[in-house]
Amino acid sequence: AQSVAQPEDQVNVAEGNPLTVKCTYSVSGNPYLFWYVQYPNRGLQFLLKYITGDNLVKGSYGFEAEFNKSQTSFHLKKPSALVSDSALYFCAVTPGGAGSYQLTFGKGTKLSVIP
Amino acid sequence: DAGVIQSPRHEVTEMGQEVTLRCKPISGHNSLFWYRQTMMRGLELLIYFNNNVPIDDSGMPEDRFSAKMPNASFSTLKIQPSEPRDSAVYFCASNQARRNTEAFFGQGTRLTVV
């Protein structure tokens, strides 16, 4: 069975500093990996994904993530945090290949950017 | 496209009543997911459909929960009878599973059972 771990329930970072939100996964075969963001009282919004190719993936709002197969990680990063980045972030995984439908989410990490 | 549309946005009901949540996926998407979000358990996958067929309903908590997808543009999640512990935000999401694209989420239905 596939699983996703987000080891930090909350991450606090000062505005302008770099941020990292951690994610590790367990899945058979080559994974497809995703990051989503959820603002209060809203649904989840897609940020970026890794399917294949370059291990560094760039997404919306200046976010990027690095796929590390040996460490089974897919950490979310941003060089300079904004207060508006404060939200709940979810990592998700699905097994790669045809017929891979089930998207499994981590528990989420609350990011607080302090002015 | 208007995105995934869920209704109602908020639902308050009394324990024992039947509750029906509705979802219209994005046109052309062939997979649909129902999730439940609570503070305690985070985001849980309840059931997903592919081409209107339920593929995995192992996340449905108990027989009080049922989901249907009578056609490609509509799905329902029903709770009968409802209980206070069913209070949560229920999300519907859809994608084109064949291409393993990202899933698009609706705004959710906040259910409160009193």
Identify which of A102, A106, A108 has the alpha carbon closest to the alpha carbon of residue A87.
A108
Cβ distance of A44 and B42 shorter than 8 Å: no
Residues 1-60 of A with CB under 8 A from B: 32, 34, 36, 42-46, 49, 51
Chain A residues with CB under 8 Å of B50 CB are: 101
**Residues of A numbered 95-114 whose beta carbons fall under 8 angstroms of chain B's beta carbons: which are they?**
96, 98-108
Residue A102 has pLDDT above 80, yes or no: no
pLDDT in tens, A44-71: 999 999 988 889 999 999 999 999 999 9
Token output for B110? 């906040």
User: Residue B99 pLDDT more than 60?
Assistant: no
The shortest CB-CB distance from A100 to any of B43, B100, B108 is to B100
Residues of B in contact with A90 (CB under 8 A): 43
**Band of residue A85 on the pLDDT scale cut at 50, 70, 90:** very high
Residue B55 pLDDT more than 60?
A: yes
Q: Which residue has the higher pLDDT, B97 or B7?
A: B7
